[in-house]
Amino acid sequence: MWNIDWQRVLEQLSYLPQQPMIFSSGIFLFLFLGFSFIYWCLGKHDTLRLLFVTAFSYYFYYKSSGIYLVLLALVTTTDFFIARAIAADQEERAARHREGHSAVQRLLLLLSLVVDLGLLCYFKYTNFFGEMLAPLWNGTFEPLDIFLPVGISFFTFQSMSYTIDVYRGNLKPLDRWLDYAFYVSFFPQLVAGPIVRARDFIPQIRRPLAVTNEMFGSGVFFIVGGLFKKAVISDYISVNFVERVFEQPDLYSGLENLLAVYGYAMQIYCDFSGYSDMAIGIALLLGFEFPMNFNSPYKSADITDFWRRWHISLSSWLKDYLYISLGGNRHGKFRQYLNLIITMLLGGLWHGASLNFIAWGGLHGVALALDKVKNSVLHRPKGYKSHGIKRVVEVLVTFHFVCFCWIFFRNTTFEGSWTMIKQIFTHFQPQIFGQWIESYWAVGSLMLLGYVLHFLPSGMSLSVRRLVVRMPLLLQALLIVIVIFIVIQIKSSDVQPFIYFQF
């Protein structure tokens, strides 16, 4: 009865490169139960509770990236002390009635950016730029064996926003390193967002621990919904259809390629929004509130609206810290359009060191600029919304443009992207649709379910959320068990990492 295989237990608790710990894995669910018990026992002891959560967060990151957790500690420590040094210089200048930023403040901010962006560039872009620049010296470049730490883009951006806000005078720096470490490393959003702003999260850190019935029920709703989207819809259509077509698009008809694009549009939405939902739900169970990261993005009537609904924390970050820093709309129309394109090009590069990602970002940047031109020519007021058939057409056009861009996002080479586009436009073969339904009826059913749920009125989702909130605790627990049972019945043999782990 007590013959425990301790070697296997230690192996599961150690860093396994091929099995990063994710919210939908059994090991996380098991550890989270023990974590929750200790967490609530420490409820009235703020410092001990923060220390415990920070330690667990570092362990969570260790399970994803091993020894590279030292990078998380490095970014946290340098930005904590740099922000304090910036604030100290600001106070000294204020005492002397001096305005503006000093050279010391600018150098300190530059140091923060060098550390954060330097790490990001080394681990993410060394091989990319090496291959691009190699022809300049008529040589060849041997790619370096560089491991990409999970979520490095997320925690560096989050930490950067803190020092920039302190530099701008929008935020007072924290006095305790532990509080800042807790903010940067908080495990629900550590490796794939949402990118939580310091001004939103820091006030919650040391407030009395309390989880209302509304927060608990909403947490259960988000966790169940996110788990279903990720482990049922996204993983199933990915493993059983989408991956096969994208790996060899020339072996499939244009119809199958188009359906794979529609499938990927639903896969990446369910995968990423599912993660965000689970992160929001887990945070709520622990007494913290995150902002929403997705708001039915495929209902958008133009690309501007799409980026108000898709990965909201990143798009707002790019707007506040890159687009506005470039000048925003303060220097005329042409400069505004150029700033939009540059912002999205860099946003594409943030997603990955590939020309495909740059093309994806560039397409969205041009589309955003054209939106501005269209609204200016048609004299549309800010916040304009179309209605009726016109809106339906605009939503369809926007959705298909987004799907077209997903082709470049998902493929690793331009060759693969062009092959897929060529198959769609030259070898469509609509007559095989019946055969596809017969062979992939389960995939098709889950894709259809995903789109139906996505396009339901937002009021229905809110009603279901309120229903879950009002459920007795026993029914909420039963709901979680039912979803986990469904996941176990249809999941693939291997745990499928979240797509945004690679960013």
Mean pLDDT, rounded, for 69-94: 94
Name the percent of the chain lying above pLDDT 70.
Answer: 94
Domain holding 482, by residue range, is 211-301+385-503
Residue 289 falls inside a structural domain: yes
Residue 174 falls inside a structural domain: yes
Q: Does 1 score more than 60 pLDDT?
A: no
Residue 318 falls inside a structural domain: no
Spell out the residues 6+ positions from residue 419 whose beta carbon is closer than 8 angstroms to its own: 249, 250
Beta-carbon count within 10 A of 137 CB: 8
Confidence of residue 503 (pLDDT cuts 50, 70, 90): low
Residue 362 falls inside a structural domain: no
The predicted structure's pLDDT at residue 241: 95
Q: Determine contact, residues 61/188, Cβ cutoff 8 Å.
A: no
Q: Does 145 score more than 90 pLDDT?
A: no
**Which pLDDT tens digit goes with each residue over 32-53?**
888 999 999 998 899 999 999 9
The predicted structure's pLDDT at residue 143: 78
The predicted structure's pLDDT at residue 126: 86
Residue 35 falls inside a structural domain: no
Same domain, 90 and 197: yes
Same domain, 262 and 143: no
Same domain, 272 and 197: no
Same domain, 137 and 224: no
The predicted structure's pLDDT at residue 502: 65
Q: Catalytic: 351?
A: yes
Main-chain dihedrals φ then ψ at residue 115, nearest 5 degrees: -65, -50
**Catalytic entry in 45, 311, 331, 351:** 351
Residue 131, sorted as left (phi over 0), alpha (psi -120 to 50) or beta, turns out to be alpha
Q: Does 493 score more than 60 pLDDT?
A: no
CA torsion sign for 72, 76, 77, 79 is positive
Spell out the residues 6+ positions from residue 332 whose beta carbon is closer than 8 angstroms to its own: none
From 205, 238, 264, give the residue that closes a domain.
205
The predicted structure's pLDDT at residue 12: 66
